[in-house]
Structure 1
Amino acid sequence: MEQENYSIVFSSSTGNTKKLADAVYEILPKDKCDYFGENDLKIPPSDLLYIGFWTDKGSADTKTLELLAKLKNKKIFLFGTAGFGGSDVYFEKILGQVKQSIDSSNAVIGEYMCQGKMPQSVRERYVKMKENPEHPANLDMLIANFDCALSHPDMDDLEKLKKIIKK
């Protein structure tokens, strides 16, 4: 089966999602790529779109949601990163939220999410919150999750994505 033309569009706040986009681009035929780059809210010409996002409040970032809402009759592969990772259930919940922005004329042909590192300011905020005697009980867990996320997306995350794309 011949590879059809495609575009890879992504939003990447901290560089995590760009790493995933680079991994997708690395394994697909370059001569079939119509567009590779940041989401500028323009609808790419390809019928096959690889759309990457970063997680904001349990869904995709605003720019990605705006682009997804405009698309009609496209095949979409969603990929994203979330600072709070490690749980497929959490990732599925995010993807479910994202898919609500996709018109029913489109087909979601695949999806992938992994954990991504967060800005240091997030950890600093958690540590500062611990100074308050009435701080949330889950702060130690949030700090541990932050520390775990520092290495992501890692090589295993990127290889998993490549395997899914190759299928």
Structure 2
Amino acid sequence: MKVLIIYSSIHHGNTKKIARTMATSINADIIETKNLKINTLDEYDLIGFGSGIYNAKFHKNILNLIDKLPKLKNKKVFIFSTSGFGRTKYNVPIEKELRKHNLEIIGSFTCKGYDTFGLWKLFGGIAKGRPNNKDFQNAKDFAERLISS
């Protein structure tokens, strides 16, 4: 199975760390959203979309990419995110958008990540030290379950 992980990681590299962990554990290709050549997506059987969360939303780079997705047949996808709170509800809007493109969502992952966005900066941020080793192990386990199913 050929896997691609696409991510946007802007402030602290939290999402990039999780994306790398997943990619390494399942031998996936990995690329930052801004470097993706959209016509290469057909080469992959499974595609992951990941982002940090900004004002309860995925980064605009991922949102714009999903808007521009070409017709992809028989593609499975998964979603992952990092945020100060690590809430799974942040992944739901992206799931809905991907379903509009008739993509099969086979998993969703989230974990906490150090966050100094907006008002959190005034307090020194939240979720310091995250993602941590447990988060990395959970990301690895999640990715391995995706390709074994």
Pick closer, same or farther for the CA change 1:112–1:42 going to 2, 3 Å: same
After superposing on structure 2, the runs of 4+ consecutive aligned residues of structure 1 that deviate more than 3 Å are 119-124
Match runs of 1:30-49 below 5 Å: 33=28, 35-40=29-34, 42-43=37-38, 44=41, 45-49=43-47
Partner amino acid, structure 1, of 2:135? D
Extract unaligned runs of 5+ from structure 2.
none
Per-residue deviation, residues 76-123 of structure 1 (Å, max 9, x unmatched): 1111101233xxxxx232111221221241011111001110238754
Match runs of 1:9-158 below 5 Å: 9-13=6-10, 14-29=12-27, 33=28, 35-40=29-34, 42-43=37-38, 44=41, 45-69=43-67, 70=69, 72-73=72-73, 74-85=75-86, 91-102=87-98, 103-119=100-116, 122-126=119-123, 146-147=125-126, 149-158=127-136
Pick closer, same or farther for the CA change 1:46–1:118 going to 2, 3 Å: same
Confirm whether residue 159 of structure 1 aligns to residue 137 of structure 2. yes
Q: Secondary structure at the match of 2:22?
A: helix
Q: What's the C-alpha RMSD, in Å, of the aligned pairs?
A: 2.1
TM-score by length of 1: 0.72
TM-score by length of 2: 0.79
Q: Secondary structure at the match of 2:97?
A: coil
In the alignment, the residues of structure 2 paired with residue 157 and residue 114 of structure 1 have an alpha-carbon distance, to the nearest angstrom, of: 6
Extract unaligned runs of 5+ from structure 1.
86-90, 127-142
Partner amino acid, structure 2, of 1:107? E
Residues 10 and 21 in structure 1, CA contact (< 8 A), matched pair in contact too:
yes
Equivalences, count: 136
Q: Secondary structure at the match of 1:66?
A: helix
Pick closer, same or farther for the CA change 1:105–1:123 going to 2, 3 Å: closer
